Structure 1
Amino acid sequence: MSATRVFVARLAGCTVFDPAGDRLGKVRDVLVVYRKSDPPRVVGLIVEIPGRRRVFVSIGRVTSISSGQIITTGLINVRRFEQRGGEVRVIAELLGRTVVFSDGTGQATIEDVAIEEFGPGEWAVAQLFVRRPKTSSSPFAKGATVFAHWNDVREKTAVGQAQSAEQLIATYSDLKPADLANTLLDLPQARMLEVAEELPDDRLADVLEEMPESEQVEILSQLDDDRAADVLDQMQPDDAADLIAQLSEERGEHLLELMQPEEADDVRMLLAYAPDTAGGLMTTEPIIVSADATVAEGLALIRRHELAPALGAAICVTLPPYEPPTGRFLGMVHFQRMLRYPPHERLGTILDQGLEPVTADTSAAVVSRILASYNLVSVPVVDDNHRLVGVVTIDDVLDYLLPDDWRSNDSDDDAPERVPNRTPTRAQPGAPRLVNRGRRTSNGTS
């Protein structure tokens, strides 16, 4: 393996292969340990393998590192990664820290870290890419960027001072909400809350929808009421209802009062249904049109990129009004059926007559059987007056059927012990705390 220098932020998301070229997973972070005088030593990579499980890959098992791919010996252990005392995650914990130049020329913020191979299987931090404070008052101005050797700077972290989360958010900007949620759950608790507070409302809403309920409540409790209400407005009504149901009655009602009236009304309606019924599982935001709408209009509606795939699979046709609870429900038209007709065809003439809606009090078990029996991705829900009140989608049902701890991936009991290729076991920082959907330790591992 030839001498190589790579920047850690560029490694995030890189594919990890075995010697045969088979894909093992993706890099999520680089793990280093500090040394007394020398730059931090790289001990391994944190790799996400299929199933969204994070595992540790010793740097000694890596045969090649580049900014595009990682090659390993193929011998990795799939036991869930657990961070040990003295170890630091470069992306999650080091980027964004403030450093002070030893020559007295000021301070800067770490934006990237270069690691370099100094011997077979021996990697260490080579340089820091840092940004000095801006010197102009212009909102568009940025500070100058420079390279610095590790020994030329020292970290500046005052007691109680939070590290900047902006760099971490930028590094993970391309992650899907489920992957970003998993990344945050792997962070130390204080860091997770800090990053969550920095996320935009819509991004945080997407992430919360992918988290266990206990973590949702924990994060929401750190937000002021106005911000919490704004985030709830951005969530799917069924997810917002599930979250509010976990709060105290007093705070839940206060947040509902602060939410947008239309969003709050949808959530209140969902809270009225038992969680194991179609009403408790459904979402109140399907695509709803009149019978006179055309195929072209229907296809235009399902092309919206912000629409969840399951909701875009079919269009509901009703009499006015077209907001739940609607006028009388007439039927659904699946997008594949629309593709078989000319653009000017009226949707009212091509309804799927074989699909019967369920009522809001239909049990979740019955809804599950209907979706499975007829190979559906959604089923309409009506009230006693046959008015459409929502749809239950396949992801709603899967969330109900899967074990409570599925989001935390805490199913590693039969996984082999990790190969002891690191320093002897050290005491784990923090004590374990209970989590509603599984168990996480206070340092973010599961």
Structure 2
Amino acid sequence: MSQIAETTTLLHSVEAYVEQFIKENVDPNFVYHNFQHTCAVVATATELAEYYDVSAQDRLAIILAAWFHDTGYAGGWEKHEERSVQVALDWLASQGVSDQELLNNVSGCIMATRMPQQPRNFLEEIVADADLSHLGDVSYWDRCGRVRQEFNLTRNHVMSDQEWIDFELDFMVHHEYHTEAARELFGDRKSKHLQQLYKRKKALFPDQTPTNLQELEFSKKNRKQLKKLKKAVAKARRDEDPDFKPGRGVETMYRATYRTHVNLSSIADNKANIMLSVNAIILSIVAANLFPKLDANPHLTVPTVVLVGVCLASLFYAIQATRPKVTEGKSSLEDIKARRSNLLFFGNFYSMPIDDFHYGMMEMIRDEDFLYSSMTRDLYYLGVVLAKKYTFLRICYNIFLFGIIVAVGAFVIAVVIDNAANAQADLPLELLAPELLE
């Protein structure tokens, strides 16, 4: 069996095993650390692994660790990571897996999910970020409520609304994603969740006036926490003011840049059309007037071939400059949620279902960061297309310029040589071979 087939079989087997294991061994009171959470971590870990295009062996270690990282909850929440490692190693041994490097990577990645997270290498960072990806995901509020419920059911830890919000704020403020991909995918939404938590805190408890020394110390702690919170949500400050609108300078910049790109594209198309017309006319004239006369004027064959070659090469690059290229035309919902898609260009959405496109556009309208990010991406790719157009045009004009000079020179040389040959043939015999007359 090939390595790829073995890996595929192993991943199918581990999914079925973990689902059955959690169902039979993990207390249902763990309403957060359940199979649903495990599947979400696996999906995110897989996405991060593909984002960085890690090797097949490293990808396998990441996914296996994601599947097993919470199986240790079968023995309770304390030190569950160690038990998860043992469950993983026992199962892998039963599957005949003996690669020590793979086993070490799986163990390390599982241990990297222990709080506070302290991953030691890149693979562990990916799994650690995947484990807490819900902090910056649309599922945050549901998962947050489940954590609170789980604390109550499994640790007999009942918290008031204020205590819970303070707990979440403290956890979120002190948490940082380890990989750049996770920060890009989940950082902005996590910042918005932080703001929403703080707003809920202020709405529930607007009067935070300290009444004694203990409350004064608590208020100081909150002020420090708020200062750190403001730094963490710097990217999302615009959300604090619902009436915020970008300055006219920003809007003018985008408008002027778009207009410039459109004008440059139109100029490029016009230049290409000029070359198409000129070369088509030259080829028509050559075909109608020169080709029929080549039998009688064989000395013009080479210059004619040069001229035709120049025109065909110019036509080729002029057509390349104007030939439309359409992309796949489909962006996934995952791309939209991760704010990676650009729905402003038809080539990116013409194959999408209308519901997905509508959802993406509504998200873009509601999220100014998404909107301006899409506009920026659109400008970038417009510039890439323009660069290709002008590259082809430059080649086209260079071929035409220097090719025409070479072709005209070839015609002149051919005519001069032919005239010289004819003149020599017309000389009297006594001038060509006087010795014959003697």
TM bucket, shorter chain: under 0.3
TM-score (norm 1): 0.27
* Higher Rg: 2
- Report the structure, 1 or 2, having the larger strand content: 1
Query: Relative contact order (C-alpha < 8 Å, sep 6+): which is higher?
Result: 1
